[in-house]
Amino acid sequence: MRCPYCGSNEDKVIDSREASDGAAIRRRRECLKCQRRTTTYERLEEPSLLVVKRDGRREPFDRKKILAGIQKACEKRPVPAERIESLVDEIEREMAKEFEKEVSSVQIGERVIQRLSELDEVAYVRFASVYRSFKDINQFMKELRELLNKKQS
């Protein structure tokens, strides 16, 4: 592992522990040349899952895209970063377990919406408004009414 500070290839592992519910290993490393410490994550390389977009294009599954969308929806909301990370980990594990080669972007988006509705209502509405591409205020109001009805029952 190359040191990001001095470029040396000489380091030692100080500490290793499970991360992301066992889906990764977190390692603390110390460079033997400059003595600076870094953290690395080791993940099992999953067979590549393709995402089928609405227009029929296929692209590799990218957890960073899901993470970015959820972070944007949760911006300025009291949602801890660790909870967002674990939510993305859960969705990624589900996709790998349920689908062998391909999954539609719609299925991923619906999972995110479901999880966000349980996590934070404002983040849910933000994500849904972008994901579902509301054409007018009536569609938006319909979604809000459904959310309020779920909350009351």
Sign of the torsion formed by the C-alpha atoms of 97, 98, 100 and 102: negative
Strand pairing report for 11-19 and 24-31: antiparallel
Which of the two residues, 91 and 48, has the higher pLDDT score? 91
Identify the pLDDT of residue 148.
77
- Express each pLDDT in 65-101 by its tens digit: 999 999 999 999 999 999 999 999 999 989 988 998 9
